[in-house]
Amino acid sequence: MKKLLFILMLTVSSVTVLTSRVLAQAPPPASTALSGIGDESTYYKFASLVRSANMDATLAALGTYTVFAPHNIIFRNMSPGKLDSLTNDPAKLALVLKAHIVKGKFAKADIIKKLGLGKGKTTFTNILGEKLTLARTKDNQLLLTDAKGNQAYFLNYDIMDPHGVIHGIDNVLDYGK
């Protein structure tokens, strides 16, 4: 009986050790798209639209990314018809959102460096394949201009995300298609 009890205790101990090792090696749960933007953020509306457009896989495929997210006030000031038409058409919504996303992680320091190399001007390509021009204005602000000429000034920098960085802007960029 003592032998049986000893074997049972040894088996339970082994299973416990093996289970804890397996659990320790399990990958952490995947983060949701733009989890760096919380519900209290001044950019949460953009993040919620990205999630509602089911763009988690799109962002994950990029590896790292930079997002130029419009401030919540921009969406509040949109005509209800325009915002409704976007949210009711996931394909169109995804196009507008993708116009704000660039492959690669570019923090403010990286952007400033690129601007220095480009003598105050540089370009990025959003994930739609369109050029975004970034320029330093005479009053030292950063101005982002899309392929259609829509412009946005930077409001905030370096909101860190597990897979990228988010910068706040004051306008919704359009898409060229």
Task: Find the CATH number of the domain harbouring 42.
Answer: 2.30.180.10
Q: Which residues pair with 82 in a beta bridge?
A: none
In whole angstroms, how far apart are CA 63 and each of 59, 102, 118, 162?
7, 11, 26, 10
How far is residue 103's CA from residue 38's CA, in Å, rounded to a whole number?
22
Is 97 a domain residue? yes
Domain annotation covers residue 175: no
Average pLDDT score, the chain: 82
The region of weakest confidence among 21-25, 58-62, 120-124, 142-146 is 21-25
Whether pLDDT at 87 is above 70: yes
* Domain-located, residue 177: no
Partnered with residue 68 across adjacent β-strands are 167
| 73 φ/ψ angles, rounded to the nearest 5 degrees | -60, -35
Residue 100 forms part of a structural domain? yes
Question: Taking the mean position of all CA atoms in its chain, how far away is CA 47?
Answer: 8
What domain range includes position 15? 3-169
Edge-first strand order for the sheet with 101-103 is: 101-103, 65-70, 164-169, 151-161, 142-145, 131-136, 121-125
Token pair of 127 as six digits = 């994930």
- CA 63, chain centre distance (Å): 11
Confidence check: pLDDT of 96 > 60? yes
Tokens 């983060």: give the residue. 31
- With CA atoms as reference, report the closest residue to 140 among 166, 106, 116: 116
Q: Which residue has the tokens 């990286």?
A: 110
User: Model's pTM, two decimal places?
Assistant: 0.79
Tell me which H or E stretch contains 155.
strand 151-161
Give 93's pLDDT tier (boundaries 50, 70, 90).
very high
Residue 122 lies in a domain: yes
Q: What is the pLDDT of residues 122-136, one digit of tens each?
A: 999 999 999 999 999
Domains in the chain, number: 1
